Amino acid sequence: MNAAALLKVVNFYGRFTPSFTVIGYRARGLPGRPRYPGLAGKRIVISGASAGIGASMALAAAENGAEVIAIGRNREALDDLIAQCAGPGRIEADICDLSLAAETRALAERLCARGNVDALVNNVGILDHRYSETEEGIARMYAVNILNPFILTETLIACGALKPWSAIINMASGGLYNAPQNLVYMKQKPEGFSGVAGYATHKRAQIVLTNDWAARGFAAYTMHPGWVDTPGVQRSLPKFRKILHPILRNGAQGADTALWLIENQPDPVDGALWFDRKPRPAHAYARTRQPLASDADVIAMLKADAGL
């Protein structure tokens, strides 16, 4: 590693480690075992709930009396999650591959048939280092991270399952600090593929959608869970995890702000990234502040690809 690269690494870890790890969580006085009594009786839909932050969120919500619909591909993992639930709420599984628009629309139809959804957490997300497509011919990261969550949310709004008082939570990441708002990396091709740039672009696009849904009357938020030890981190960022494993947050700490937002529904803040229960700037570097695509451009692309 040359001197410039080493300095970049040192600056990165020096800047974010005290805040994004469990060190920051504890320093801000957040509870070790938080309670959310206001979730009792709420119906909460959580995608990517078979492991990691999603699973921790589902268990905590159910422990506080919520009815949780846990979405994932792995039936065995979701059955295990249900077995861990001790109530007083409950967890139900709904099997869906959110990389596929057809399955996402079928899921949305099932949820619409059940009635009101008090909160939707778009938690599913992936970071791939090699390009791949779904069987529908869509870039896989684009489909999972932004397109199909958009389809799911818009369908639930259209059918009336999501009401103006419903909460919509987009689970973002500090990874969005790496890119300005753009269309170039939204749906990439194999040539020149960058998983890191795509992931950052998708997560930043979540803020565009959050702003739009909030403007339409929903309690919509994009949140950053901090650096959490999840299966996704273990798979996609093994070196990062090896360095920071002792101080990464656990799933419950990563889920805390999402559940707090659902319970308290503070006024949405345009362009904010909610982190540790407060709205914070969505930019860490000056180079990302100037968007390379407008909000309207981002939404138009998603609507066109979603057929909306």
List, in order, residues 6 or more apart from 1 with CB less than 8 Å away.
Answer: 9
Nearest alpha-carbon partner for 203 in 288, 307, 118 = 288
Name the maximum alpha-carbon separation found in the chain: 59
* Burial of 21 from C-beta contacts in 10 A (0-12 / 13-18 / 19+): buried
Q: Is the pTM of this model over 0.85?
A: yes
Q: Which long-range contacts (CB under 8 A, 24 or more apart) does 74-81 make?
A: 74/50, 77/50, 77/51, 78/49, 78/50, 81/49, 81/50, 81/55
Tokens at 186, concatenated: 């939204």
Task: Give the active site residue among 36, 185, 199, 221.
Answer: 185
Q: What is the mean pLDDT of residues 37-41?
A: 97
Based on C-alpha coordinates, what's the Rg of the chain? 18
For residue 64, what pLDDT is reported? 97
For residue 10, what pLDDT is reported? 64
For residue 36, what pLDDT is reported? 97
For residue 243, what pLDDT is reported? 87
190: cis peptide before it, omega within 30°? no
* Burial of 2 from C-beta contacts in 10 A (0-12 / 13-18 / 19+): exposed
Answer whether residue 86 shows pLDDT above 70.
Answer: yes
pLDDT digits (tens, 9 = 90+) for 278-289: 999 999 999 999
Active site residue 199: no
Active site residue 189: yes
Nearest alpha-carbon partner for 259 in 30, 61, 42 = 61
pLDDT digits (tens, 9 = 90+) for 88-146: 999 999 999 999 999 999 999 999 999 999 999 999 999 999 999 999 999 999 999 99
Walk me through the domains of the chain, giving residue ranges and CATH numbers.
34-306 (3.40.50.720)
Helix (H) or strand (E) holding 43: strand 43-46
Identity of the residue numbered 286: A
Q: How far is CA 171 from CA 84, 91, 126, 163, 231, in A?
A: 23, 20, 12, 20, 16
For residue 3, what pLDDT is reported? 66
For residue 299, what pLDDT is reported? 98
> How far apart (Å, rounded) are the C-alpha atoms in residues 68 and 149?
18
> How far apart (Å, rounded) are the C-alpha atoms in residues 278 and 111?
30
Three-state DSSP state, 169: strand
Answer whether residue 79 shows pLDDT above 80.
Answer: yes
Q: What is the mean pLDDT of residues 149-162?
A: 98
For residue 233, what pLDDT is reported? 86
pLDDT digits (tens, 9 = 90+) for 218-273: 999 999 999 999 888 888 888 888 889 999 999 999 999 999 999 999 999 999 99
> How far apart (Å, rounded) are the C-alpha atoms in residues 156 and 154?
5
